[in-house]
Amino acid sequence: MFGVLNSACDWLDERTRYRALLAPIRERTLPDGPRWSLTTASCLWWLFVLEVVTGLLLMFTYSPSATSAWASVFYIEQIPGGSFVRGLHYFGTQAFVIAFAVHLMRTLISGAFRAPRELIWITGVLLLPLVAAWSVTGNPLTATQKAFAQIQVESEIVGSAPVAGPALQRILIGGERIGNLTLTHLNVLHVAILPLVAALLLGVHLWQICLHGIGYQEVEPTERACAYFPHQTIRNLTVFAVVLGIISYLAWHSGAPLEAPAGAPDEAPPRPEWYFAFLFELRRYFPGDSEIIATQVLPGVAILVLLLIPAIDRLLPRAASFGLRILVLLIVVGGITGLTATSMYRDWNDAEFIAAREASHELAERARALAAHEGIPPAGPRQLLANDPKTQGPRLFAEHCATCHLYQGSEAPEIASEEPVAPNLYGFASREWIRGLLDPEKIGTADYFGNTEDMKAGDMVATVHDLFDDLDELEEDERQEINTWREDVVVALSAEADLPTQQEADEADAERIATGAEFIKTGDFGCTDCHKFHDEGDLGSAPDLTAYGSREWLAAMIADPEHERFYPDTNEGMPAFGLAQGNAAPILSEAELGLIVDWLRRDWYEPQQAATESRPPDTGDSATTVAP
């Protein structure tokens, strides 16, 4: 096999002379033996290849549009190998940034930029902002909430540049708002324009290395002198294999994060990727108009100083130049480390930020669970959370209902009601809830009619007291009989709601429900004296018990509580949420009403435990991801 390969290579060489071209790289000798410090260049090169390969793979699936970007990334995560490939691309970037910094520092210290190698140095330094731009255009392509927040901020930085800034920003975004054009623009920059520029710079960089060799080759030969291959190669590959191992582990174990799609209800405060945290922190020290110093002047000056290093080096004696370079390095590395640490420390101690980030992780998980369950609607992934009762219910309740109603219970989210004047709706119409309603000790509490003055003094409270107050004074069997009837009524009335959470219990107790329903109609409690229940009793004096707590009942009740079916005379200030107010639209749209009702009834999709375990939880916001 190698014979064939060799003759193929010979054939190619006769025509292209590629061996002579590559000779400076292939047949280099190392005058003082192989070195570990020389491995940074090859590590960068192979990371670059890794990014190109995984990037091309992702392009097979990725679709840059506001309705499909998040969806296609989610789809990549579902394909076998897809999550891993995306993870390699994501963590490969971070490794690249680190390797780039190390390589830059090494060449700065070793004086690799000296004549005739200035162009190698200059092209390398120019690759630095390019890599930053590559990352900035790549991260928002997921079209997550965080991604859009990032590109919003980053485009503002472009926009704050003098003269052409605002126009550039508008062109980059593709208009005033982030959307389809933002994604197509970022995508073409990320996968075509920047790679072309990078290839050009990298081409000059490598061509110059072929031409001039690396500085180390000019060292006086010692007895350790040997050929580059395989002595240095094995070191290069060992380092890259370790780096790849770490990246692969991260890709396999945590994968690249996928936050909630843009447009989700809670916006966690945006943070840049961890390797930009120092710039983020730097902005804090330049408030207002001086911000441009942090975002553009200082980074620009830093690049300029780096570009001028070969010239500065010429002007100074060697020792002074070395000292200066060490000093610059210490300041820059120290500064970046300090700023990064400060930024992270600040976030770690910001309880509000951590809570917001936690909430946004939960939203992300919810969005992914819904996407896996029902697929992504043609209108895009933002519909997933927008139409989800579990996500929207608490928000709508807090906005519209919590001014009066409580929502407190074991599995309830914390929704504060400052001055509750109406019943606690947690578990409304469930057996537990109705049990409390028929309990003389509870019906007068804040959970039920304790805060509604008229209802507290009304017939329902009085009846419950009449019926059940003196049970203790009765004979044991009489008391038991009444309690059995009461429980029958509870079970039967709760079954009217047809709650999804109670489905199994309702099916198991079919007989009891039938008995209880009959008792509500005709039994001694006299329910139908005031209430209507199916074909028994009349509307008007008390709420209809037919289908009490069902989706339709609740929606109709919230839409118009003073309707004949509910509280025509005894409503204490609950607005008609679903009725048009003169010319104005109803307070709640039909969709919002449905979301509140479904949420109150706990009628939403909940993934099976096993299904969510298929993917380990996110490593979290990459702002806090530790460097590999």
Partner 1 sequence: MDRRSWLAWCSRALGLACATVVAVPAVRYLVDPLRRSGDSDEIRRRVARLEELEPGEPRMFAVSGSYQDAWTFHDETVLGQVWIVREDAGDASADARVTAFSATCPHKGCVIPSFDQQACEFQCPCHKASFDLFGEPIEGAASGEPNPAPRPMDSLTVEVVQDDASGTWWVEVVYQEFESGLETKEVKG
Whichever of 371 and 489 has its CB closer to partner 1, that residue is 371
Tell the smallest beta-carbon distance from residue 242 to partner 1 (Å): 10
Q: Let me know: does 148 contact 140? Beta carbons within 8 Å.
A: yes
Tell the smallest beta-carbon distance from residue 503 to partner 1 (Å): 25
Tell the smallest beta-carbon distance from residue 589 to partner 1 (Å): 21
Which residue is listed with tokens 């400052």?
418
Whichever of 334 and 375 has its CB closer to partner 1, that residue is 375
Q: Which residues bind partner 1 (CB under 8 A)?
A: 46, 50, 53-54, 57, 60-61, 68, 71-72, 74-75, 79-82, 84-85, 88, 227, 229-231, 233-234, 237-238, 240-241, 244, 248, 371, 374-378
Tell the smallest beta-carbon distance from residue 373 to partner 1 (Å): 10
Could you please report the per-residue DSSP string of 157-210?
A: HHHTSTTTHHHHHHHHHTSSS-SHHHHHHHHHIIIIIHHHHHHHHHHHHHHHHH
Compute the distance between CA of residue 194 and CA of residue 434 in angstroms, rounded to an integer.
65
Q: Give the strand pairing for 405-406 and 422-424.
A: parallel
Whichever of 57 and 298 has its CB closer to partner 1, that residue is 57
Whichever of 68 and 145 has its CB closer to partner 1, that residue is 68
Compute the distance between CA of residue 544 and CA of residue 553 in angstroms, rounded to an integer.
9
HEC readout, 55-67 = HHHHHCCCCCCCC
Tell the smallest beta-carbon distance from residue 616 to partner 1 (Å): 17
Tell the smallest beta-carbon distance from residue 249 to partner 1 (Å): 11
Residues 6+ apart with CB under 8 A from 286: 292, 293, 294
Going from the C-alpha of 112 to that of each of 25, 36, 40, 216, the distances in angstroms are 16, 16, 13, 8
Whichever of 18 and 60 has its CB closer to partner 1, that residue is 60
Compute the distance between CA of residue 422 and CA of residue 433 in angstroms, rounded to an integer.
14
CA nearest to 337, candidates 276, 286, 278: 278
Q: Let me know: does 251 contact 84? Beta carbons within 8 Å.
A: yes
Q: Let me know: does 91 contact 256? Beta carbons within 8 Å.
A: yes
Tell the smallest beta-carbon distance from residue 46 to partner 1 (Å): 7
Neighbours of 106 (CB within 10 A): 15
Tell the smallest beta-carbon distance from residue 274 to partner 1 (Å): 24
Q: Let me know: does 219 contact 226? Beta carbons within 8 Å.
A: no
Tell the smallest beta-carbon distance from residue 370 to partner 1 (Å): 11
CA nearest to 410, candidates 602, 604, 592: 602
Contacts by 556-562 with C-beta closer than 8 Å and gap 24+? 558/588, 558/593, 558/596, 558/597, 559/586, 559/588, 559/593
Could you please report the per-residue DSSP string of 275-324?
A: GGHHHHHHHHTS-GGGHHIIIIIHHHHHHHHHHHHHHHHHHS-HHHHHHH
Tell the smallest beta-carbon distance from residue 306 to partner 1 (Å): 31
The greatest distance separating any two alpha carbons of the chain, rounded to the nearest whole angstrom, comes to 112
Whichever of 3 and 116 has its CB closer to partner 1, that residue is 3
Whichever of 68 and 135 has its CB closer to partner 1, that residue is 68
Tell the smallest beta-carbon distance from residue 233 to partner 1 (Å): 5
Going from the C-alpha of 71 to that of each of 67, 76, 182, the distances in angstroms are 7, 9, 16
3-class state of residue 625 by DSSP? coil
Whichever of 228 and 274 has its CB closer to partner 1, that residue is 228
Whichever of 81 and 116 has its CB closer to partner 1, that residue is 81
Whichever of 22 and 416 has its CB closer to partner 1, that residue is 22
Tell the smallest beta-carbon distance from residue 103 to partner 1 (Å): 19
Tell the smallest beta-carbon distance from residue 376 to partner 1 (Å): 5
Whichever of 227 and 312 has its CB closer to partner 1, that residue is 227
Whichever of 72 and 494 has its CB closer to partner 1, that residue is 72
Q: Is the peptide bond before 381 cis (omega within 30 degrees of 0)?
A: no
Tell the smallest beta-carbon distance from residue 342 to partner 1 (Å): 37
| Token code pair at residue 160 | 């704050």
**Strand-pair partners of 261:** 144
| Token code pair at residue 209 | 């290395």
Whichever of 255 and 423 has its CB closer to partner 1, that residue is 255
Helix crossing, 228-253 with 82-110: angle to 10°? 130
Compute the distance between CA of residue 305 and CA of residue 439 in angstroms, rounded to an integer.
80
Whichever of 374 and 478 has its CB closer to partner 1, that residue is 374
Tell the smallest beta-carbon distance from residue 187 to partner 1 (Å): 17
Q: Let me know: does 484 contact 525? Beta carbons within 8 Å.
A: no
Whichever of 193 and 379 has its CB closer to partner 1, that residue is 379
Whichever of 50 and 104 has its CB closer to partner 1, that residue is 50
Kind and range of the H or E run holding 139: none
Tell the smallest beta-carbon distance from residue 57 to partner 1 (Å): 5
Q: Let me know: does 70 contact 368? Beta carbons within 8 Å.
A: no
